[in-house]
Structure 1
């Protein structure tokens, strides 16, 4: 019996209702259906009294989700999609992402198009688009203190009410650089339209095999976004006496102490999106962010008084 998964946002009643209805429909059609929420992909935040708060990346998959699953359907917004990929990426499960949220930048279809979308996906009439993910580790005395997969970005920044920080950053074999800023972002092409874009970084099309380093509010005119090959490993050393905060994809993170090291590299796992039509990145930029829309036309003639 072929197996299919459903991951939904359990705080959205519409997502919960559709998940239950979909489970019944697919089971009646002969599918082995496994259902889970996206909560397992939200890794949580460390606290001073609990500095380690994470689950190893290969232990996040819900029960029954494995390499034998044909696909999984995600019901939620972008946050649910990010959490779902952390849960299933190690098994290479492709996701059909359905928007029940607001912007839905990472989603492929909408609830009112769901029956036709599922029929098309289950029939194999679709494409699989692979997006790069990052493997983020916090090392303390060369031991892994915290780790996570992320699809958008890793952000390392100062705590509130503390001063500007210094970061010693080494990219691959290149000489280390010192960045004075409120924080630094390491983003994938997918994440270039998220926090990195808000901080002034470049928008990068998904198929370009690069990563981006973006300082947050740098204290130098020379500190600007840097784009480099995704094969390079990034090591960040906090050159500051203050405790820092690291956040991954906006919903998971930990404290980073002055003696810690943050290592970011391209993950061996990819996010596999089910595309019902050939991906068209510029169309998404126009629809979701208003990029490239024509300006209001000027009048062809002006009547003088």
Structure 2
């Protein structure tokens, strides 16, 4: 009996209702279906009384989800897709994102397209696209303190955000660099259209084997976004007191003390996404972010007297 999963945002009533409908439909087709909520991939924020909320990367997979599962349908917005990617990436389960949220940049289909999407899933009529993920780890005196998978970006900054921070950053074998800024972002190509874009970083087409470092409001005109190969590990040494806060994909993080070390590397677990049609990244940029739209109103020629 083939296996499928459903991951939904239980805060949205429509997502919960549709999840049950999909389960009933797939069960009628002879599939074994497992349901879970996306909150399991939310790793939790730190607070002064509990600075570390640590769950191992391989410890988030929900019951019933394993490498034998053909696919999992994700019902929610981009936040649910980000959480779902952490849940199932270690098992290699492809995700079909169905937008019940706002932007839905990471989703593949809308609710009104769901019947046709389910037919294609059952028939195996789809492709699988892989996206780079980061393994983010915090070490204290060489002891692993915290870790998480990251699909979009890792952000490191002071609380509050509008305070200058100083970082020493070593990328691969290259000599360390010093950056003074409100914070820094290490982003994947998938995350290049998220926070790093708002901070002035470039858009990177998925599949390009790079990462990028983006300073947030840097103090120097020379500190700008840097793109580098994704096989280069990154070590970050904060030099601020008393602490910084690190946030991964906008929904998980921990405090980082001056003697801690933040380590990032390309994860050997890629995120896998179901594509029901050939993935056209420029079309998504145009539809979601308005990139490359033609000028509707153009200046008319005016004869001067």
Structure 1 Cα separation of the partners of residues 162 and 208 of structure 2: 36
Q: How does 1:119-130 map to 2 (within 5 A)?
A: 119-130=119-130
Structure 1 Cα separation of the partners of residues 22 and 14 of structure 2: 12
Structure 2 Cα separation of the partners of residues 119 and 66 of structure 1: 22
Report deviation, 1:303: 5.9
Answering whether residue 29 of structure 2 is matched by residue 34 of structure 1, we say: no
Report deviation, 1:242: 2.9
Contact 2:162 2:182 in 1 (8 A): no
Where does residue 152 of structure 1 map in the other structure? Answer: 152
Structure 2 Cα separation of the partners of residues 298 and 275 of structure 1: 37
Report deviation, 1:161: 7.3
Where does residue 267 of structure 1 map in the other structure? Answer: 267
Where does residue 64 of structure 2 map in the other structure? Answer: 64
Structure 2 Cα separation of the partners of residues 161 and 236 of structure 1: 18
- Which has the larger displacement, 23-32 or 277-286? 23-32
- Residue aligned with 1:242, SS: coil
- Which has the larger displacement, 277-286 or 45-54? 45-54
Structure 1 Cα separation of the partners of residues 301 and 167 of structure 2: 56
Q: How does 1:246-265 map to 2 (within 5 A)?
A: 246-265=246-265
Report deviation, 1:258: 0.6
Where does residue 242 of structure 1 map in the other structure? Answer: 242
Where does residue 207 of structure 2 map in the other structure? Answer: 207
Structure 2 Cα separation of the partners of residues 17 and 92 of structure 1: 26
Where does residue 84 of structure 2 map in the other structure? Answer: 84
- Residue aligned with 1:79, SS: helix
Structure-2 change in CA distance of 1:299 and 1:53 (3 Å): closer
- Residue aligned with 1:21, SS: helix
Structure 2 Cα separation of the partners of residues 180 and 260 of structure 1: 18
* Aligned-pair Cα RMSD in Å: 1.2
Contact 2:161 2:183 in 1 (8 A): no
TM-score normalised by the chain length of structure 1: 0.97
Where does residue 182 of structure 2 map in the other structure? Answer: 182
Could you tell me which runs of 5 or more consecutive residues in structure 1 were left unpaired when the two chains were aligned: none
TM-score normalised by the chain length of structure 2: 0.97
Aligned pairs, number: 305
Answering whether residue 158 of structure 2 is matched by residue 163 of structure 1, we say: no
- Residue aligned with 1:268, SS: coil
Where does residue 14 of structure 1 map in the other structure? Answer: 14
Report deviation, 1:163: 3.4
Structure 2 Cα separation of the partners of residues 223 and 161 of structure 1: 18
Q: How does 1:62-141 map to 2 (within 5 A)?
A: 62-141=62-141
Per-residue CA distance 1:225-277 (angstroms, 9 max, x = gap): 00000000000000222310000000000100011000011000001010011
Structure 2 Cα separation of the partners of residues 180 and 299 of structure 1: 43
Structure 2 Cα separation of the partners of residues 3 and 51 of structure 1: 38
Structure-2 change in CA distance of 1:301 and 1:162 (3 Å): closer
Structure-2 change in CA distance of 1:11 and 1:298 (3 Å): same
